[in-house]
Amino acid sequence: MNVSARRVAVSLNSVAKLTSRCRQLTLTLQRPQRSIIRSKMDTRALRNPYADYDGRPESTQALFDSQGRLTPEFAQRLSSKVSELLAVMENGLKSADPRDCTSYTGWTGIAVLYLHLHSVFREPYYLQKALDYVSRGLKCLTRRHDVTFLCGDAGPLAVAAVVYYRLQRPQEADEFINRLLQLHHNVVKGSGGLPDELLYGRMGYLYSLVFINQQLGQDKIPLQYLQQISEVVLASGENLSRRMRLQDQSPLMYEWYQEQYVGAAHGLAGIYYYLMQPGFVCGEERVHRLVRPSVDHVCRLRFPSGNYPPCIGDDRDLLVHWCHGSPGVIYMLLQAYKVFGVPHYLESALQCGEVVWRWGLLKKGYGLCHGAAGNAYTFLALYRLTQDPKYLYRACLFADWCMNYGKHGCRTPDTPFSLFEGMAGTIYFLADLLQPMKSRFPAFEV
């Protein structure tokens, strides 16, 4: 039986029991520990001013109905704010770095936003804007070893392929796909110092292939291309685990600049999330033998708060970001629950949700990588799996926070209008919330 066939059907009753158990675990944290944690976390987060979901229909009636459909009024508010912030973003981009081609902070990230808006609103104007911005990105490709979707040339090439596909220009789309696949050899040859993580490593290139298949059809990039990358990543992880003599604790281990990062962007959680995707690794037995105990090793790193360290050996419980901390680790946990069916993975994911609700409104701002919008995707991921209205409610209130952009005294990012640090990412989230069951963290979720 393959991995996908073993995915677990989650019942509302089982989720309710796990949610209740998670709340009990939260309440049983020792009060001195909670006091220490609170003072540390408060250095990075603003106080959450919202009342939590109390189970009464009245608490959600202004946001969504019993079927999870947003009310017309709230949906209109989201749409209006998208338009308003787009105008601000466009004006701000006039002073953006003209040489930054990346999805993370550059022109391609703006193209990703407009592609998403085209998907949501079906306005041809947005597709033309996506073409305009990805064309800027293509003019300043790095042509270096940077091969990832977020920080390298794979991003502009993959996004260009999708833009031309939607424009019904298949020949040009195929040309960009071919250019993207020309990077494949250097990714899988297993040398040259290429790391394995998402932002700058092999998984970042793998995502570019996933992006093509998500947008153009699952067989556009043959599965063998993804499996070859996964094979190299597995071999790399086994090798480092042996060198560090960690085989008994974690059959796989990864590092970036001699640090064993834990989170989604540079670390273990992001890598394991992809290695657990159905079909990405040849042989279900290897997923169970290598990936599952490595996931369990990450689980053992959890702080009493429910949060996770940025690196192995770092005991500072400070960061509640998608890049470092619970908001990124949760995707690994949810995928582990889907694949292995073990309740404690979902239990840990629910605790991540509690961490984000309490400490997820960050002083760093409203962005995706380390901001309120990125943290809100925690709730959307939980909602899609559990259908518990609490998580849609929380996502909507984080959206309310984001719709008051600039009114909370948050820091201004280095690239204030970009996809992953700035306003473009916030706009992406607000538009994504219009279709909660279709929402996905951009440039990351499968």
Per residue in 142-200, pLDDT tens?
777 789 999 999 999 999 999 999 999 999 999 999 999 999 999 998 666 899 999 99
pLDDT at 42: 73
Q: Looking at per-residue confidence, does 4 or 335 come out higher?
A: 335
Running DSSP on this structure, what letter comes out for residue 323? S
State pTM to two decimals. Answer: 0.92
pLDDT at 17: 55
Q: What is the mean pLDDT of residues 324-343?
A: 98
pLDDT tens profile 238-292: 999 999 999 999 999 999 999 999 999 999 999 999 999 999 999 999 999 999 9
Backbone angles phi, psi at 15, to 5 degrees: -65, -40
pLDDT band at 16 (very low <50, low <70, confident <90, very high): low
* CA–CA distance, 118 with 35 (Å, rounded to integer): 46
Q: What residue ranges do the domains of the chain occupy?
A: 44-95+360-446
Q: What is the mean pLDDT of residues 404-429?
A: 97
pLDDT tens profile 231-248: 999 999 999 999 999 999
Name every residue whose Cβ is closer than 8 Å to that of residue 212 and which is 6 or more positions away in sequence: 158, 161, 162, 177, 180, 220, 221
Q: What is the mean pLDDT of residues 123-139?
A: 98
CB-hemisphere CA count at 13 Å for 51?
Answer: 7
Query: Would you list the DSSP string of 393-432?
Result: HHHHHHHHHHHTTT-S-PPPPSSTTSTTTSHHHHHHHHHH
- In the chain, the amino acid numbered 176 is F
* CA–CA distance, 371 with 321 (Å, rounded to integer): 7
Which of 345, 321, 351, 323 has the alpha carbon at shortest distance from 333? Answer: 345
* CA–CA distance, 134 with 129 (Å, rounded to integer): 9
pLDDT tens profile 365-388: 999 999 999 999 999 999 999 999
Q: Is 323 annotated as ligand-binding?
A: yes
* CA–CA distance, 381 with 67 (Å, rounded to integer): 17
Percent of the chain with pLDDT over 70: 90
pLDDT at 418: 98
pLDDT band at 14 (very low <50, low <70, confident <90, very high): low
Residue in the structure block whose two tokens are 């959307």: 380
Backbone angles phi, psi at 216, to 5 degrees: -110, -10
To the nearest 10°, the Cα dihedral for 238, 244, 246, 247? 40
In the chain, the largest separation of any two C-alpha atoms, in whole Å, equals 64
Q: What is the mean pLDDT of residues 346-366?
A: 97
* CA–CA distance, 234 with 252 (Å, rounded to integer): 7
Backbone angles phi, psi at 64, to 5 degrees: -160, 160
Q: Is 369 annotated as ligand-binding?
A: yes
Structure tokens at 28: 């049983």
For residue 159, the surrounding DSSP H or E stretch is helix 154-166
pLDDT tens profile 388-404: 999 999 999 999 999 99
Q: What is the mean pLDDT of residues 417-435?
A: 98
What average pLDDT does the chain have?
92
pLDDT tens profile 30-44: 333 444 455 476 788
CB-CB contact of 414 with 85 (8 Å): no
pLDDT at 11: 44
Running DSSP on this structure, what letter comes out for residue 443? T
- Say whether pLDDT at 91 is over 50: yes
To the nearest 10°, the Cα dihedral for 341, 345, 349, 354? 120
pLDDT band at 297 (very low <50, low <70, confident <90, very high): very high
Structure tokens at 303: 């702080």
- Say whether pLDDT at 93 is over 90: yes
CB-hemisphere CA count at 13 Å for 161?
Answer: 26
- Give the E-state strand segments of 341-387 in sequence order: none
- Say whether pLDDT at 26 is over 50: no
Query: Would you list the DSSP string of 267-285?
Result: SHHHHHHHHTSTTTSS-HH
pLDDT band at 124 (very low <50, low <70, confident <90, very high): very high
CB-CB contact of 210 with 152 (8 Å): no
CB-CB contact of 85 with 427 (8 Å): yes
Q: What is the CA radius of gyration of the chain?
A: 21
Which of 27, 15, 66, 156 has the alpha carbon at shortest distance from 392? Answer: 66
pLDDT at 31: 37
Which of 373, 435, 400 has the alpha carbon at shortest distance from 68? Answer: 435
Residues 56, 62, 63, 66: is their CA dihedral positive or negative? Answer: positive
Percent of the chain with pLDDT over 90: 87
